[in-house]
Structure 1
Amino acid sequence: MREHMTGGDAMVQAVLRHGVNTVFGLPGVQTYPIIDALQRAGNQVRFVSSRHEQGSGYMAYGYAKASARPGVYTVVPGPGVLNTGGALCTAVAGSAPVMCLTGNVPSNFIGKGRGHLHELPDQLATLRSFIKWAERADCPQETPGVIDEAFNQMLSGKPGPVAVEMCWDTMADSALVTMPELPTPPAGPEVDQDEIEAAGKLLTEARRPMIMCGAGTQHASKEVLALAEILDAPVTAFRSGRGVVAEDHELGVSSAAAWELWQDTDLLIGIGSRCEMPYLRWTGMTRADDRPAGPKLIRIEIDPVELLRLKPDLGIVADSADGTRALAEEAAKSYRKTANARTRIADAKVTARAKVERIQPHVAYLDTIRSA
């Protein structure tokens, strides 16, 4: 498609090409061309307005986590963007695909420090200091390419928040814009069979393994459960990994039950997880060991840098579904289950529940809500 459009239309049409049908935001003078473009897009997109920029950012974050689709929002630059900083930081922590579309001062004011409306000394540098990626589209014609790269950065490897800005004047300018074919979605790294075989050897030495899931396993429930069934291993999570294996499954355990099992666990398999619970929460939140003491540690991570932050005995760089599937196939060859492993897990659940029952009336309220 090639047609005349404003920079705002180019931003919106480029985003819609990626399957986005909902945009959150709060209109403002520097982003009126985006709002106008959303109106012109009609039934292709739903715009949800908030009363404060922070609400726009958090709605996009919640949408991304609940739908497993990118959450897109638009706010004015400067203080508007900064008002969404909490949501962007949360998206970094939760590895959520969130995209901010914003403006900036007119292009001939960039870097001048004249105190233009909502001017920051360097908005891109500010954003780049704490989110995954940020870039400016300098004219309508290059906007589709910038948006495509934003989606690539947001979704490749470990997902995370990104931002695209456009100056006030260039967002309103019109030009002949070509919408290219959608790029091929980013592929995950190829599983290294040597790493899988080495992990399999660690598994054969373990008698009481535990699996910990993070946000990176939300698409890998089937693979995680298959591995857990082969090992008769409890599966736990902290926050973003909850629900990968439901806690009402006999192998799914709450954090409280996981603590009961942790004391004699001899191998932890962290999948798409920073393993915050055992190595931060359960150690007092002040120890920054990059090689933790305790049971052996296998980590499956799509981001190789994560394996340097918390160093495992064996690291597997892979998408969680691919890596877990390969590890399950390797474990099925030689892993010998420990007798009464599921009884041990059931006993831990009972013990944990008895302790949690003391927190009243809160637990009674939760039980009522869950049974409704």
Structure 2
Amino acid sequence: MPFPVRGGTVNAVIDPLDRPASVPARPFLAADVGGTYARVALMQAPQDGGGEAEVLAYRKFVCADFRGLAELLQAFLDTDVRVPVRHCVIACAGQVVGDEVLNDNSAWPIHLSQLRQVLGLDDIAVLNDFEALGYALDHRVDSNARRLCGPDVQVDGPILVIGPGTGLGAAVRLHDAAGGHVLTTEAGQMDFAPNSLREREVLAQLAPQGGYVAYERIVSGPGLLTVYAALCASRGDTPVFSTPEAISAAAAARSDAQAVEAVEIFCASLGSFAGSLAMTFMAVGGVYLAGGFLYSLFALLERSAFEERFLHGRSARALLSRVPVWVTEHGRKGVLGAASWYLRRNLSGETGPGDLLAAGLSR
């Protein structure tokens, strides 16, 4: 069964006894590495091989402040850790190719052998960042989540988690007798499908000769900037804003027509994307839209065309109208889910210390 994980702090670390040999006996690192931020925690496995793992220390870093992931993790070890650490699990976006994690949106390449050598680790495990978010969710509604649309109830069934951030990630959690399994996806790389004439104009700006345009080019933080710039170009205007936050603030204040329309297209396109995935996976357990950026956009999402586009039409509407959609902050969920996955995999014997796990990674 999976390990539930709870947050907290302690003043001392008790060296556990009577633990399955494959589970790290001492605290281990869990890192959730995105294109903009990295969240790192020192985790303590449960003493008896069951119960809840604990967060002993936690910190959020700006990736651009460091030359690489080794330096970032070392900074955490230097400031927050007072015990030997030999094991690490990393939830990250990208693709594992040989020894390297490659991702167009990453602040820097990640070399796994370098991490092991520099940090003196025995074991590095890697999983998808949205796979980790999936393992942090279960059928209990997140207390920090805000319902965007759909019924205020939750039923058993697949749960979908989607996150527009530096890229666009998605995963689905399937529940089973063992506590659930998470499937990773490359859904953000699906072809963008315009739904309105204005969206077709934006698509024409992005690909004037035709060709492939991924949803990620539209539905992400950089995607919002892309849409805004395309709208300005189509009207012969010079862009005023240079960050997604500035565009969303202008849209909230309704002080800039292009910013308002860019956010409307972003929200509507997210609705289409989420509805299509919900149909694909029959996500009757609900949809979580994760990330601080979306959380800050909640009021704009509420009055946007998100729900109408999510519901699609005809027979799909009857199904999707029963699917609750929540918006939740990313917070510690990535590191908690990564730790839960890591302990579960080690305890089940699917992997052992010293193995390098390279799951199919998205974004």
| TM-score normalized by the length of structure 2 | 0.27
Indicate the structure with greater strand content: 2
Indicate the structure with greater helix content: 1
Higher RCO (C-alpha 8 Å, min separation 6)? 2
- Structure ID, larger Rg: 1
